[in-house]
Amino acid sequence: MSDRKRKRSPEKAERPHDPAKKVAVAAPSATLKVTVLPESDGWCPIVGISLPSSIPLTPYKRSISSDPRILPPGHTSPPSCELLLQSSVHPNLDYLAREAPTGSADGVLAHYTAIYDPSTGSLQITPARKVTVRSTLRNEAAEIRDRVEASRAAAAARQSSFAQRQALSSEFGTKKARKAIASLTENAIASGRGRATSPGGTAIKQDASSAAVLDSMASSTDTMPDKAALQAAVDDAKPRPRANLAATTPADVYTLDGLIGADMRSIAVLDWQAAAVRNDDVRTPSRFVSRRLAAVAQGGDVGKLKALRYVLLLLNFLAALKPGRGGGRRLPPRDELEKKTGAAGALLDGIRRRFGDGGGMSKWHVDYLITHVAALSLVVDNFSSDTYDLKEDLRLENKQMSQYFHELGCKMSAPTEKEKQLLKLSKTEAAAHRIARLKLPLDFPKQRALAAKRR
């Protein structure tokens, strides 16, 4: 029986190295010196983050009140602040990293980072904080609605109902109304001296109620918005892309990053580039796109070619909508929308998020889409665009089309003699064409003052 037993090798076999097994680190010469830093509310190392280096996080501290009976191991006092890290750099996602709440399963664990220096044989242990990163999808349509509602609420908060009537009467009222407001202002100023004057200049006595009313009128005039503030509130609520008012050239006013955003990566133009190389005639449902496709594709500017493709997608998207109430539109089923627009996947979802409102589009959203198309046409035509082709695509009148471009800050004019020759227009044809020119300073529509009615 002993001969049948497996004989052991005289030399001890070496076991393969397990990479997951921890290996102890020992100092080469001197005794290991271990230093443990105390817990503090200052900055400290963070563990638990796995994000690309292109997404920076901004740290914040928030004061908290925790139960001193629930402490992580090694803590002598509850932490007085909570660490938050946030980032909105990504075009579609928001990132938020925060610690586990005190008292939870992860909140009672303590984390440390150790730094070993082999030259001195020292080991420094520092308390660290573990955070969990979560991402949320940013809804662009909700951001637009929130921005419009916030601007309206801010404008309403700046002025009371009385201040609104005063501002409207001062701007658009008759001479008699403006004179009455001036008289009220004089009375409010005179109330500080204890006496008020009538419109004729005669001093009158005031009782306690009159003095209180005049004092409230004097305080309300301090918060009365001026004409510039009213114009800014109106501009923020208009359905148009946000213009860069600090731009030094027309090319910086409306950029492709602002008009298209992250959808630029999903726009394919290889078929148009190949057709341009073969000198093929590409036909599209849009007059604007068809008349510019060959020149833009042969020019080699991929950004303008993608802008032209995006204009075609938006025009097809608008044509696929069904009539709704109040000038709005309704979205058809998704399969029908994909077939009519030629877009699918993330690109179609991006268009619906940017310009849609749930299952439909209000008049505000339709105007918002058309102003984006007009701004993209300016980029394609080097900020001097003939609006005739786009007017025919959208089935609008010259006055309506000119108003959309005027909302972007363009100046509208008839084509010059040189432009007539370039576009090959006769005198009769030139009468139906308008040229939109984007120049600095921008020319936005102003609030119109209503003329006083004559009696």
pLDDT of residue 450: 47
Amino acid at 381: D
pLDDT top residue among 76 and 296 = 296
Spatial CA neighbour of 77 closest among 127, 35, 132, 123? 127
pTM for the full model?
A: 0.52
Say whether pLDDT at 119 is over 90.
no
Amino acid at 443: D
Q: Which residues contact 189 (CB under 8 A, 6 or more apart)?
A: 218
CA atoms 396, 398, 401, 404: torsion sign: negative
Is there a contact between 56 and 49 (Cβ–Cβ < 8 Å)? no
| SS3 state of residue 82 | strand
Burial 287-314 (b: 16+ CB within 10 A, else e): ebbbebbbebbeeeeebbbbbbbbbbbb
Is there a contact between 78 and 71 (Cβ–Cβ < 8 Å)? yes
Burial 140-155 (b: 16+ CB within 10 A, else e): bbeebeeeeeebeeeb
**Tokens coding 78:** 């509850």
Q: Which residue reads 């089935």 in tokens?
A: 395
Say whether pLDDT at 435 is over 90.
yes
pLDDT top residue among 173 and 337 = 337
Q: What are phi and psi of 39, to 5 degrees?
A: -70, 135
pLDDT of residue 93: 82
368-401 residue pLDDT tens: 999 999 999 999 999 999 999 999 999 999 999 9
Cis peptide before 441 (omega within 30 of 0): yes
- How far is residue 410 from each of residues 96, 189, 253, 402, measured CA to CA in Å? 41, 44, 11, 9
Mean pLDDT across the chain: 78
Query: For the residues 145-162, what does the mean pLDDT come to?
Result: 68
Distance of CA 307 to the CA centre of its chain: 19
Q: How far apart are CA 347 and CA 175, in angstroms?
A: 56
Binned at pLDDT 50, 70 and 90, residue 69 comes out as: very low
Least confident interval from 233-247, 251-265, 440-454: 440-454
**Tokens coding 131:** 């955070």
Least confident interval from 4-13, 180-189, 281-290, 300-309: 4-13
Say whether pLDDT at 66 is over 70.
no
DSSP letter string, 85-111: EEE--SSSEEEEEEEPPTTSTTTT--E
Q: What are phi and psi of 73, to 5 degrees?
A: -60, 135
Amino acid at 122: S
Binned at pLDDT 50, 70 and 90, residue 327 comes out as: confident
pLDDT of residue 409: 92
